Amino acid sequence: MIAANKLDKAAPNSVEELRKKLVAYEIIGCSGAIELALKKASKSGIISYVPGEDAISVREGASQEQKKALEYMQAYLKKNKGTGIQELVNSCVFVASENIAVYPVENENKYADHSGNVLPDVLLMRKGSTAIDMARKIHTDIADKMLYALDARSKKRLGKDYVLQDGDVIKIVSAAK
């Protein structure tokens, strides 16, 4: 995987040219500088920005100079469908590393933990992992005394050997305290 950074400064079609030359690699065009600037502007309250999205919302109080810079960044986001940084991270975590995201819950009706926090955790599991693998990742005692898993969406009972799918919301039922 190649992060083709400084896309904001690159010649048009430079990423496409790289892809033609380096066909064995996934090449993602990105701008770390714009991502950093957007995160700083968001932290200071000048804009509303969600990493990976292709738009920002400018709030009141930005100076003319800031507005000009934000217009440039907004145009970049629109043209490139984001800064590319979140796409790069997602590709590294999920595609290259062959991981899936699984959400463990204690309350399958509210998708919550014991404190009522909705989907408070996500586990990165290797593709092909099973419910018992997930239980082990939570705690060995839970895995050792696991009875079954429960799909929180369908309320279907799942065996220990159930192969987890990306985005599953799972309750592990165990005799462990």
User: With pLDDT > 70 as the criterion, what percentage of the chain qualifies?
Assistant: 100
* CA-closest candidate to residue 1, choices 93, 92, 86, 97: 92
d(CA 172, CA 120): 15
Same domain, 74 and 143: no
Instruction: Check residue 138 and give its pLDDT.
Output: 94
Instruction: Check residue 176 and give its pLDDT.
Output: 83
Same domain, 64 and 112: no
Same domain, 25 and 52: yes
Same domain, 48 and 107: no
Instruction: Check residue 148 and give its pLDDT.
Output: 97
In tens, the pLDDT along 2-44 reads: 999 999 999 989 999 999 999 999 999 999 999 999 999 999 9
Instruction: Check residue 60 and give its pLDDT.
Output: 85
Instruction: Check residue 107 and give its pLDDT.
Output: 93
Q: Pseudo-torsion of CA 35, 37, 38, 41, nearest 10°?
A: 160
CATH number at residue 141: 3.10.20.30
> Within the chain, which residues score under 70 in pLDDT?
none
Instruction: Check residue 96 and give its pLDDT.
Output: 85
Number of domains in the chain: 2
Residue 177 to residues 15, 36, 144: CA-CA distances in angstroms? 54, 45, 12
Round the average pLDDT of the chain to a whole number and report it. Answer: 94
Instruction: Check residue 62 and give its pLDDT.
Output: 86
